Amino acid sequence: MNTKNGTLLSVVALLLICVSVGMTSANTPPVASFTYSPKNPVVDQTITFNASGSYDPDGGNITKYKWNFGAGNIAKKEETITHIYSSVGNYTVNLTVRDDNRTENSTSKEITVRVPDTTPPPNITNLTSTTGTTWINWTWTNPTDADFSHTMVYLNGTWQTNTSDAYYNATGLIANTSYEIGTHTVDTNGNVNTTWMNQTAKTEVAPDETPPTSIYNLQNNTGTTWINWTWTNPTDYDFSHTLVYLNGTWQTNTSDAYYNATGLSLDTSYEIGTRTVDTNGNVNTTWMNQTTKTEVAPDTIPPASIYNVQNNTGTTWINWTWTNPSDADFNHTMVCMNGEWETNTSGTYHNATGLIENTSYEIGTRTADTTGNVNSTWVNQTTKTEAAPDETPPGSISNVQSDTGTTWINWTWTNPIDADFNHTMVYMNGEWETNTSGTYHNATGLIENTSYEIGTHTADTTGNVNETWVNQTTKTKKASSKEEKSDATASSSGGGGGEARPVPNVPIDSKGVVRYTVTLTSRDESAFLKIPKGTTVLDAQGNPLTSPINILSPPFEGAVAAYDLRPNGVKFEPAVEFSINYDPAKIPEGTTESELVIKVYENDTWMELETTVNVTTHTASTMIRHFTVFALFAEVAAASASEVTPMLIPTPSPTSSAPTPTPTPTPTPTPTPPFPQIRMFVIVIAIVAVMIISIYFLIL
């Protein structure tokens, strides 16, 4: 191994070590945390300190606890510990914890130790009560002492509970009976106020259990689908409401003196049943009932439909008119718009407003009479609002950007947000190029180190053109000694200088994925390769393509057209479209354009591909997944196609000495296949490529 190779390996090893070291995660210190109890300690009182809230964010363990109680007292190791202060004062307690990586962290809290409190809190105040028949609820105001803890509650001298709330609810009591509440207050130090604060309250008398009398004077009025019952309510002072049933099913509770039953069947008997209830919930179990029959239905014949429907339209309105039916009991027309009810009208028109221009709307109508009979036959009409003339062009494109190569420029932009935007008119150096609804234009086959100006107008679906130009001038890159033009075959330099690095003409990322759609053209401008955005393009070794794609058109007899796609072995996923524009005059006699087929030369034979022929544009297209030789044949030549082999001119490859002459084969009616030469050429190119890459990295 030479010095350069050794140096290169050393640098790589050093980089790997640096990356490995850089990827090592730094240790995070542990989190120290503790609590203590009681919160207001006094002299000579045992205080418990708990550090169980400490933890290691790295997922490790706390291995050591160190306590400093602020008076020279230090304890170690314990997670939970007690301490007693013998004198009044403010003490700073410090906790230091260590994790299993020997990383430490600390936290502190200040504790105030006071003289023991022997003064009890004052009594509760504002003692009041609310009563029921079996309960009494007492409320009060607790004392304002900071150390107030709870109130001891007694009922008729018997302790009931301790509560820090300001109320006590005594339940399960006897009606119309007196009860005495007694209270003592206690602070957090256990000091009890021995003075009683008492109050006596009496539960209420049990309510009335006698139900009210029944309703009376029950009357009714009837229709075909309804019955209205009226009555007189009882005179009981505590009467609340009447429970109403229809045919034995509860309907409602009402304090009114009537009930209206609707939605009934005609000529049918219905029974109302009632029971009365007072304010205490006492129900009179005696039923007060009445059976009544709905009336027979009147006329059930609906009116005739409207007729002679006409309309007038505007851009945002439609006015429909018609003639109403002559039925004496005609009442109104039900009007629907696009299947949705709009209104009922007894008039002979409907004006629909606030509509959308150039849009169809359907009016639907049905007629109804005074009895409510509806004609089920729809009378409809569909009418379209007028289109408002659009004279406003769309906004211009914006955010114009460019990406360049030596022979191509890809411009991208943001289309206007106009709803009727249709396309962008693209000009190159003042000459119209294309119309596109997309957000890019890829100019290929350009001259290196040359400025090109793109110019754009936008147009909407009505044909209004924004006359404001949005232009940008961009310059192609200059090919260096280490680059080649994207429309030329790779070449090598003599004298041991190495081969020039090729420049790709397909915009791909580091994984070989195409960043935006491009279309490559052959030098005779008759073959096209469309590579959509998102396609993966790899070279013969399975690596992202780094050299330009060329579509060569070598001389070839026996086919309508033939193309050699380079570099050999390039693969696409998914397949891409390859198209050939042909000259109809070159099609053999006895065949038609629809009989054309594209074939691929594989394993020393021609294989037919699924081909789409457009006889209008004279284009044949197929989908391909890799590069090799493709040719367009007429079906009449299918019988001899396997005998026709391409006679291609391989791209020169560098050699260390003059090439050995190859004997010319004896001419025959069909060309002799040069594919062994092509294979040898591919092998030579691969060897040269490996040499170039090795030299390149050594130079770097």
Determine the pLDDT at residue 694.
67
Q: Which residues contact 695 (CB under 8 A, 6 or more apart)?
A: 498
CA 611 to chain centre: 40
Length of the chain: 700
Angle (CA) 398-401-405 rounded to 5° is 155
Phi-psi region of 279 (alpha: psi -120 to 50; beta: other; left: phi over 0): alpha
Report the 10 Å Cβ neighbour count for 543. Answer: 9
The string of DSSP codes covering 234-261 is ---TTEEEEEEEETTEEEEEESSSEEEE
pLDDT in tens, 375-388: 999 999 999 999 88
3 state SS of 11: helix
| DSSP-assigned beta bridge partners for residue 411 | 402, 441
Determine the pLDDT at residue 698.
67
**Token digits of residue 698:** 């050594």
Determine the pLDDT at residue 371.
86
Query: How does DSSP classify residue 341?
Result: E
Sheet of 80-84: strand order equals 35-37, 46-50, 80-84
Q: State which residues of the chain have pLDDT below 70.
A: 1-25, 73, 75-76, 481-504, 636-684, 686, 688, 690, 694, 696-700
Give the helix/strand (H/E) hosting 383.
strand 379-384
Q: CA–CA distance from 539 to each of 239, 519, 625 (Å)?
A: 97, 18, 12
How far apart (Å, rounded) are the C-alpha atoms in residues 237 and 280?
11
Q: Which residues contact 21 (CB under 8 A, 6 or more apart)?
A: none
Angle (CA) 181-186-188 rounded to 5° is 150
Determine the pLDDT at residue 684.
57
Determine the pLDDT at residue 661.
35
Give the end-to-end CA distance of the chain in Å, rounded to a whole number.
17
How far apart (Å, rounded) are the C-alpha atoms in residues 630 and 580?
10
Question: Is the distance from CB of 154 to CB of 112 less than 8 angstroms?
Answer: no
Determine the pLDDT at residue 21.
40
Determine the pLDDT at residue 697.
64
Determine the pLDDT at residue 636.
54
Angle (CA) 202-205-206 rounded to 5° is 135
| DSSP-assigned beta bridge partners for residue 36 | 49
Determine the pLDDT at residue 78.
85
Angle (CA) 52-57-58 rounded to 5° is 125
| Nearest C-alpha neighbor of 461 from the set 356, 400, 387, 517 | 387
Determine the pLDDT at residue 284.
95
Q: Which residues contact 690 (CB under 8 A, 6 or more apart)?
A: none
User: Which pTM does this prediction carry?
Assistant: 0.29
| Nearest C-alpha neighbor of 587 from the set 560, 562, 561 | 560
| Nearest C-alpha neighbor of 37 from the set 83, 68, 79 | 83
How far apart (Å, rounded) are the C-alpha atoms in residues 541 and 219?
101
3 state SS of 528: strand
Determine the pLDDT at residue 346.
95
Q: Which residues contact 120 (CB under 8 A, 6 or more apart)?
A: 185, 186, 187, 191, 192, 193, 194
Determine the pLDDT at residue 669.
38
Question: Is the distance from CB of 629 to CB of 664 less than 8 angstroms?
Answer: no
**Token digits of residue 664:** 């010319």
Question: Is the distance from CB of 581 to CB of 571 less than 8 angstroms?
Answer: no
